[in-house]
Amino acid sequence: MNPKTLPNNFAARFWAKDPTLWPAGDAAAVAGMLGWIDVLPKMIERIDEIEEFVASVRAGGFTQVVLCGMGGSSLAPLVLANAFKDGLPLHVLDSTHPEDVLAVNVTPTTLFIVASKSGSTAEPTAFANYFFAKAANPNQFVAITDPGSPFQSAAEGLGYRKVFLNYADIGGRFSALSLFGIVPAALLGVDVRRFLTAALDYLEANQDFSEPFQLGEQLGNLALNGVNKLTILTTSEWATFGLWLEQLVAESTGKLGKGILPIAGEPVGAPEAYGQDRFFALIGDGVEAPVAGAPSTGSDLKDPYQLGAEFLRWEIATATAGAVLEINPFDQPNVQESKDVTKKILAEIEATGDLPAFPAEHRSLAEFLADVAPGDYVAIQAYLHETPELHAHLTALQAAIRDAKHVPVTLGYGPRFLHSTGQFHKGGPNVGHFVQFFDDPAADDAIPGQKATWRQFVRAQALGDAEALRAKDRRVFALDLGSDPTGNLPIFP
C-alpha cells in the first residue's frame, strides 16, 4: 500500500483545532474534544489556585494522598507518582479487586482525590462512596471532574474540601496536562510552573510539521501496511509511562476494525521471538530494539521534567496517526459495551443477591491458543490483585506464549485495561485471543449504596467483559484460579 501523505497545512490546521482533519467523526463532536491542544496557557493561569490548595493540604497535616480513578484520570498521576518523590506520597487506586481496595490505609491524615471526568463512571463512584463512609470527614476529600457532571453536585453537596472543575473539551486519555494530571503533580512536590513551561516550550517549538507529526504519520502508515504492534520498551524507572502510552494509543486508534496495538511491559525476547508486525518505542536512556533494523522511535527521557513534553509528543503523534487511519481518535464507542453488560449483571445482583454463574472452561490454555497465527495477538486479562510474585508468574507466562507463538502478548490488570486496551480489544481488528483470569479473594467488604460486594463487583466486570468480547465474535478463555491465583496459573505450553 502506498503511504498516505497528510496535507502540507496539517500542522497549521491542527494548532487551529480544525475538526475536519478527522472526517470519520462528527465535526462538532470532534471539536468538543480538542481542548488539550491549547490547555497549557490555561493551566499556567491556574497555578496560583493549585499552589494555594497544596499549601492548605500541607498546613492541614495530611501525610498521604490516595487518588481514586480509572483510565485517563489515573494513569498520568501513576506516571508522575513514580517519577517525583519530594512531596506527599501518592497511591493510585484503579482496581476494584477487594485486596487492592482493602489495602488502602484510611487514617485521619489521608487525603482522597476522586477523579472522574464524566462523574458517572462506576469505579470512582464506588470508591468515593466506600472511602467517604470509612473516613466520615468531607474535609479529606477532593474532586476533579467536568463542570455540570453528577459528581460535581454530589461532591459539593457532601462538603468536599475542594472541587476542581476541569475543561469539558478534553477527553480523559488526553488530560495529562490538565487538572487531572497537574493537581496530583503539585501534591507530589512538582514545580508545576517549571513542568508546564517545559511542555509549552515543546509546543511552541513544534508549530510546523515536525517530529511528533512525522511520528504520527509514520505510525499510521505502518499500521495500514500491517506493522501495527507498537512495542513499548522502557527502562525500569519509566515502566509506568508505558501504561499511560498504552491507553492513549489503544483507546484512540482501536476502532472500525483498525488500530495500533500497544504492548507495554512485555519482557524483552530474542530477535526470533518477534514477527514482522512490530514497531518499537524506546523510552529511557540506553533502551535498544531487540530486532536490528526494525522501525522504531526513541526518547532518552532522563529528567522527569521532560514528561510534560513527552506526554504532548505522544498526544500529537496519536492524533496524527488517527488522521492517517481515517478514524476518530477522540471517541471510545466500544468501551461502553462492557460497562453496559456489567451494569446488567450488577442489576441481577441487586435483584437476586448473587452473580450469574461463570461458564466452565473445558479446554486447556494450549488448546485455546492452538490456532494463533502470524499477525494475531494474545491478551492476558488479569482480574487479580497485583503482587510482585503474581506479576513475575504472569510475565513469565506472557514471555512463554510470545516465544512459542511469535506473536505479541499483552498483560493488563482488570478493570484498569477496560478503560485502555479494552477499546482496541472490541473495536480493533479481530485477531485477538483473550486469556482471562479471575480468583476467589479471601477478604471482601460491602460497597455502600449497593448490594454488590467488591468481590462481586470485580467478578461482574470480568464476566461483563467476556460477554462483550464474545458478542463481538472474539475468542475468550476464562479461568477461575480460586483462592491461590499464583499457584493455579496454567503452565504453557
Burial of 294 (0-12, 13-18, 19+ CB in 10 A): middle
In a domain, 449, yes or no: yes
Q: Residue 344: is its pLDDT beyond 80?
A: yes
**Structural domain span for residue 110:** 37-190
Given a contact cutoff of 8 angstroms between Cβ atoms, the answer to whether 166 and 146 are in contact is yes
Cα 113 versus chain centre, distance = 18
26 and 47 share one domain: no
Instruction: Give tens-digit pLDDT for 220-242.
Output: 999 999 999 999 999 999 999 99
Query: What pLDDT, on the 0 to 100 scale, is given for residue 218?
Result: 98
374 and 284 share one domain: no
Mean pLDDT confidence for 353-373: 90
Confidence of residue 339 (pLDDT cuts 50, 70, 90): confident
In a domain, 5, yes or no: no
55 and 182 share one domain: yes
Domain boundary among 170, 190, 210: 190
Given a contact cutoff of 8 angstroms between Cβ atoms, the answer to whether 277 and 227 are in contact is yes
In a domain, 143, yes or no: yes
Tally: H helices and E strands in the chain: 19, 13
Q: Residue 362: is its pLDDT beyond 90?
A: no
Confidence of residue 360 (pLDDT cuts 50, 70, 90): confident
276 and 310 share one domain: yes
Instruction: Give tens-digit pLDDT for 110-146.
Output: 999 999 998 888 899 999 999 999 999 999 999 999 9
Confidence of residue 359 (pLDDT cuts 50, 70, 90): confident
Instruction: Give tens-digit pLDDT for 412-449.
Output: 999 999 988 999 999 999 999 999 999 999 999 999 99
Q: Give the whole-number percent of the chain exceeding pLDDT 90.
A: 91
What span, in angstroms and rounded, lies between the C-alpha atoms of 318 and 296?
Answer: 15
Q: Residue 338: is its pLDDT beyond 80?
A: no
In a domain, 223, yes or no: yes
What span, in angstroms and rounded, lies between the C-alpha atoms of 362 and 478?
Answer: 10
What span, in angstroms and rounded, lies between the C-alpha atoms of 287 and 489?
Answer: 31
182 and 57 share one domain: yes
Residue showing cell 506464549: 401
Domain boundary among 139, 160, 190: 190
- The overall average pLDDT reported for the chain is 96
Query: What pLDDT, on the 0 to 100 scale, is given for residue 336?
Result: 76
Domain boundary among 325, 360, 384: 325
Instruction: Give tens-digit pLDDT for 298-333.
Output: 999 999 999 999 999 999 999 999 999 999 999 999
Given a contact cutoff of 8 angstroms between Cβ atoms, the answer to whether 430 and 257 are in contact is yes
What span, in angstroms and rounded, lies between the C-alpha atoms of 200 and 203?
Answer: 5
The CATH number of the domain holding residue 276 is: 3.40.50.10490
Instruction: Give tens-digit pLDDT for 160-201.
Output: 999 999 999 999 999 999 999 999 999 999 999 999 999 999
Residue showing cell 507463538: 405
Cα 297 versus chain centre, distance = 21
